[in-house]
Chains A and B, each alone.
Chain A
Amino acid sequence: MPKQLFINPHEVRKSGWVKFQDIPVNQYNKTIEEEKANYTNEDFVRIYRDMVIIREFETMLLLVKTTGEYNGVPYDYPGPAHLSIGQEAAAVGQAYHLDKDDFIFGSHRSHGEIIAKGLSAIEKMSDDELMDIMKKFWDGRVLKVVEESKKDYKSVKELAMDFLLYGALAEIFGRETGFNKGLGGSMHAFFTPFGIYPNNAIVGGSAGIAVGAALFKKVNRKKGIVIANIGDGAMGCGPVWEAMNMAAMDQFKYLWEEGYRGGLPIIFNFFNNQYGMGGQTCGETMGYQILARVGAGINPEQMHAERVDGYNPLAVIDAIKRKKQLLLENKGPVLLDVVTYRFCGHSPSDASTYRTKEEIDAWMQHDSIVTYGKQLIDAGVATQEQLDAILNDVKERIDRIYRLAIDENKSPRMDLVSNPDAIASLMFSNQRIEKMDDRECDVLIPKEENPRLQQIKRKVRAGIQDGKPVPKNKVFQLRDAIFEALLDKFYVDPTLIAYGEDNRDWGGAFAVYRGLTEALPYHRLFNAPISEAAIVASAVGYAMCGGRVVVELMYADFIGRAGDEIFNQLSKWQAMSAGILKMPVVLRVSVGSKYGAQHSQDWTSLVAHIPGLKVVFPATPYDAKGLMNSALMGTDPVVFFESQRIYDIGEMFHPGGVPEGYYEVPIGEPDIKKEGKDITILTVGAMLYRALEAAKILESKYGMSAEVIDARSIVPFNYEKVIESVKKTGKIVITGDACERASYLKDFAQNITELAFDYLDAPPVVVGSRNWITPAHELERFFFPQPDWIIDAIHEKIVPLKGHVVRNNFTVNEQLRRNRLGV
């Protein structure tokens, strides 16, 4: 919506044609002879060697899975093995020109890519560099296992090759000496020092994350390109389209400032092995016929799409070389359709019922290793003996690595007996890092000149002045508090960026960001497409590469659109990396009201259920600023809920109002907003204010003094204050706007029951929203909890109140009925 873009009706309504350019299909046709200028003999042979290593590595896994042994050594491996036998040329070809600064992101079938990229990085790095990396990694623990396994390493590169293979295999076998201490496994193994970033077991999951990585490189001017390795099946995933679309946004070309202008350095590399599990993507489950065609639908450059013969390593190398150059010229994004074929099934349990033996045999006739080897011999680059020697060497190497990786003593598993918290301690990184980089912050105006900040200066920072509430237009509001915390951080952490729908110019749908547009260049604050999945996934990628990011979902109800990205990616990568990756992402989520069933639900419970996410829901300006400061200081993903009901509320509790300076409210600490002695009310989010109304009624009508505790955070949560309160009062109501069934409110109740059972005078009672759709605003009082609901629930379930007349049915029979009906 930038005003400099004029939408001209004459242009828009003009008659004409959309023109397409031809998309190259397998246009590479050079011979070894012709390529000799570009490769030495060693290069040619190394390509062969790398392919053979992958083949033997995968064959070893196939044999372990199907026969329970390799070279007569038995091993039981129950985990996944999505093998890429047949796809080696594509992997090795891609990696050939990539170095450690080029990041690849993979899929469930990425063993080959890890090995190829690792071998390529090793080839390009100096011995010192390699030794440094290996010595530092897990304090040299992995290196030590490898070094002790063989006495006579001829070179550091030889050692590094074993290090790579061992680290990957130990990871696949779930060993603590694996790259990620066994917490990633086959589908998630990665090794960032070689530029190998997480592989993803969710089909297409890497696309959006890779966009974030590319964004990180662009915004922070980092070297290298990013490749999202996904399969042809991923083209059926919405988030992949979102990622491609977001990577191709016009603003990169037209709106971003000089120095940042231009396309994202990313290749969407589809390893097109013709099958999405068993579904045939060409001819059955998709309509593109040739996958590369899709590029034409994304942008005028057609994503520089082409189909490349993935059975010829030299064709792939050629393509990557050209595309990398394009990306370095800021002409991304790129789409590659690298055709290939896997001889083995989707997984060892796959009986290949969906394809014929003839088809597999036909592709085996084209086996890239055999064909390429023959070409090398024909071209006089190598002899059969040389190639045989390579094969023997590789077999010996894989055998040794295999025996090492299954050795229970040398490759132990994480010891959860002596260290029961080993995994728990990895769920959050819990670090305090003020800025993720040390350079100057890129801003447009000095902070003090910010128009919003100047407007805020005229506001009253407390909600009550001289005993009277300060009028809305004069009071420092909750939205001002969030703005203030963010603005501060933009002037401290140069990597901090923020984006989401309508964040720039509009200032966010709820005016939280008003004033940020004036302060920040495009590359630090921009509007995202309506692509919740890509918004969250790219934030994950941006953060795992070392940046800090705040993204926004306009309504909590849109969490569903970013389901995988929040539940599987944002939440899990810190622990799946065994702590190697940090995830300093703040995901702002606004809880709506007045807008009906799909715009007004409180979904805190969904995110609270997922391990690895911190969840906060401040209800006052003081807490909002303090919690946002904490979230922006930390290194963990924080889902930051805000209620649209109270964006304009002033600070009613903190003495002196909201401080202008920096302060933090610790995540996980509830706050007593009103002291009392007869009953405790624990509130989540905006329910605080309705609970306070209920407390007032309890006090004036029933002589009952209520203690109101604002949870502020949901995950983590320190129960101490609540339990102390319950010990005092013996009674507790837990209330929030979430639909009651399976809500986090119930979890609170359950924990309080166990933690304070002996002190309870009645079971903890939950007053949540009805298990309905959110109705129209005029009917919301029948859906969202109201003060009288709290009092009725107390009367019915905790302590009958003298003279109280109930208006809502909180009886046991009604509870049974509603559950029976599922409403």
Chain B
Amino acid sequence: MATPVIMPRQGQTVESCIITKWHKKKGEAVKVGDLLFSYETDKAAFDEEAKVEGTLLEVFFDEGDDVPVLATVCVIGEEGEDISEFMPGRKDASTAKEVAAESQEQPTTESGSEIEVKSGDVAQQDGRVKISPRARNLAERSGVDYREAVPTGPYGRIIERDIRQLIEKGQLVTHAARDEYLRAEGMRIGGTGIGGRVTTADLHSMKREAHYEVPQPPVQEAKAEEADFEEVELSNIRKVIARAMHQSLANTAQLTIHTSFDATEILAFRKKVKEQGERLGLANITLNDIILYVVSRTLLNHKALNAHFLDDRMLLFNHVHLGVAVDTERGLMVPTVYNADTKSLDEISREVKELVEACRKGSINPDYLKGGTFTVTNLGSLGVEAFTPILNPPQTGILGVNTIVQRVKEMDGKIVIYPAMGLSLTFDHRAVDGAPAARFLQELKANLENFSIFLAK
């Protein structure tokens, strides 16, 4: 009996995943635990391992395909087995039949035999979009991309009401830009025209980006024709980061203030844990863990920084969900330590290690990649002395942790050398003014410099 491999649902909000790489080819033998394929959402990447042994009988999607979750991706079984029942689309059909049959029996059910069809579902079966002439004309006149419509007509046909639905919520394209826009397969670009319509100008700027002229050495120089660069397709994560960062800078009023604190106490504590932690059953608590711990407590006195700013109102959180910026091969990821203010230092330390590991492996559950109320990012290990972290909206603050430098200070009339650790706080001035933000830094600094006492509180 052949076994279908479905696209796992990675978190409740994920509807589809992109296959990034196939590790096995159709016809190859697979053993339990072999990597079948890698895939990613817009937030995380994953690997799918074989759970049964056999031959990879059929592969329904290629690298780069956007696969609906729970759809059959491939089939493993014995050579020669019939796999037709697993063909994508079949499942939908039988579901539809069941729904229809059900509605026959229960005529009173609301929504009855209405079959929920997803945008593009039918079109995928024979490669054609079924659309009535009227719907097509309406789409043309109103400037919506009918490929986005959810067909509710007979036999998966897009009909007028589907376009009307789209007009109510969908993206509009100006008439002049329409043809070109429709030719731009797979592109979804933002519109700057009236009502958010995509205009020819948008298309042209898109094209300029697509055909960006790479600086080239003058022609007369030798080997001028050989491209001296490598063109790299952006990963989904890169695209998401790019968009998020740009939006952050474009849409908030962020600024950064800097300070530093005497790290003598936390270094001493760190040393003690390193020497005895294993014996005491403690995690390998890092300086960053300590800072997370202190931040999670200090923030409770500065609720405007443990908040979401939503233009006309703010959500002030009673618990601290700390976002922790993690550097991975794929790019920046920010898993969340939920309710950090209720967790012990040891617990925070252990959880952060797990989250970082998951992020680097790409196996992070996407549900952990959201919900933060404040973020801590650390470039100190890379020797950075000060930087301006970028806010993760709608959060109102992000703390950058810098490296430790030896500084001198006057203490009891003497010049002493002490380890100074830099802190860079970026905050949204729309939500918080400069003084309250500085007061948060001031308290944070005090708590860190007196960590042993703080720990006792």
A and B associate: yes
Known: A759-B137, A760-B133, A761-B135. A804 touches B113 (CB 8 A): yes
Known: A760-B132, A762-B159. A803 touches B110 (CB 8 A): yes
Q: Does B170 have its Cβ within 8 Å of any Cβ on chain A?
A: no
Q: Does B339 have its Cβ within 8 Å of any Cβ on chain A?
A: no
What is the 8 Å Cβ interface bit string for chain B, positions 92-103, against chain A (1 contact, 0 not)? 000000000001
Contacts of B132 in A (CB 8 A): 730, 760-762
Contacting chain B: which of A60-68, A408-416, A792-800?
Answer: A792-800
Contact with A803, one of B104, B109, B135, B161 (Cβ below 8 angstroms) = B109
Q: Does B111 have its Cβ within 8 Å of any Cβ on chain A?
A: yes
Contact with A799, one of B115, B155, B159 (Cβ below 8 angstroms) = B159
What is the 8 Å Cβ interface bit string for chain B, positions 128-152, against chain A (1 contact, 0 not)? 0000111101000000000000001
| A805 near B133: Cβ-Cβ < 8 Å | no
Interface residues of B in 111-133 (CB under 8 A from A): 111-115, 132-133
Q: Does A812 have its Cβ within 8 Å of any Cβ on chain B?
A: yes
Q: Does B262 have its Cβ within 8 Å of any Cβ on chain A?
A: no
| Complex Cα–Cα for A759 and B157 (A) | 15
Contact with A805, one of B104, B111, B134 (Cβ below 8 angstroms) = B104
Contacts of A803 in B (CB 8 A): 107, 109-114
Q: Does B153 have its Cβ within 8 Å of any Cβ on chain A?
A: yes
Main secondary structure of the interface of A (DSSP, over half): loop
| B134 near A799: Cβ-Cβ < 8 Å | no
| Complex Cα–Cα for A802 and B161 (A) | 13
| Complex Cα–Cα for A798 and B153 (A) | 7
Contacts of A798 in B (CB 8 A): 153-154
Give the contact-size bracket for chain A.
10 to 19
Residue of A nearest to B104 (CB): A805
| Complex Cα–Cα for A803 and B106 (A) | 10
| A761 near B134: Cβ-Cβ < 8 Å | yes
| Cβ distance B361 to chain A, nearest Cβ, rounded Å | 46
Contacts of B110 in A (CB 8 A): 803
Q: Does A757 have its Cβ within 8 Å of any Cβ on chain B?
A: yes
Q: Does A11 have its Cβ within 8 Å of any Cβ on chain B?
A: no
| Complex Cα–Cα for A522 and B155 (A) | 63
| A800 near B154: Cβ-Cβ < 8 Å | yes
| Cβ distance A456 to chain B, nearest Cβ, rounded Å | 48
| B112 near A757: Cβ-Cβ < 8 Å | no
Main secondary structure of the interface of B (DSSP, over half): loop
> By CB atoms of chain A within 10 A, which of B111, B154, B155, B161 has the most?
B154
Contact with B153, one of A758, A800, A812 (Cβ below 8 angstroms) = A800
Contacts of B115 in A (CB 8 A): 800
| Complex Cα–Cα for A85 and B208 (A) | 91
Residue of B nearest to A807 (CB): B104
| Complex Cα–Cα for A799 and B114 (A) | 11
Contacts of B137 in A (CB 8 A): 758-759
| A758 near B107: Cβ-Cβ < 8 Å | no
Interface residues of A in 693-745 (CB under 8 A from B): 730
Q: Does B40 have its Cβ within 8 Å of any Cβ on chain A?
A: no
Q: Does B160 have its Cβ within 8 Å of any Cβ on chain A?
A: yes
Contacts of A812 in B (CB 8 A): 155
| Cβ distance A803 to chain B, nearest Cβ, rounded Å | 4
Known: A730-B160, A803-B109, A804-B113. A760 touches B154 (CB 8 A): no
What is the 8 Å Cβ interface bit string for chain B, positions 37-76, against chain A (1 contact, 0 not)? 0000000000000000000000000000000000000000
| B153 near A757: Cβ-Cβ < 8 Å | no
Interface residues of A in 749-772 (CB under 8 A from B): 757-762
| Cβ distance A703 to chain B, nearest Cβ, rounded Å | 12
| Complex Cα–Cα for A798 and B152 (A) | 10
| A759 near B154: Cβ-Cβ < 8 Å | no
Contacts of B109 in A (CB 8 A): 803
| Complex Cα–Cα for A805 and B104 (A) | 6
| Contact surface of B with A, Cβ cutoff 8 Å | 103-104, 107, 109-115, 132-135, 137, 152-155, 157, 159-161
Report, nearest first, the 3 A-B pairs whose CB atoms are least far apart: A803-B112, A761-B134, A730-B134
16 contacts between A and B (CB under 8 A): A758-B133, A758-B137, A760-B132, A761-B134, A761-B159, A761-B160, A799-B152, A800-B114, A800-B153, A802-B111, A803-B107, A803-B112, A803-B113, A805-B107, A805-B112, A812-B155
Q: A762-B154, A798-B153, A802-B114 are in contact. List 13 more A-B contacts (CB 8 A).
A: A758-B134, A758-B137, A762-B132, A798-B154, A799-B153, A799-B161, A800-B115, A800-B154, A804-B112, A805-B103, A805-B107, A805-B113, A806-B113
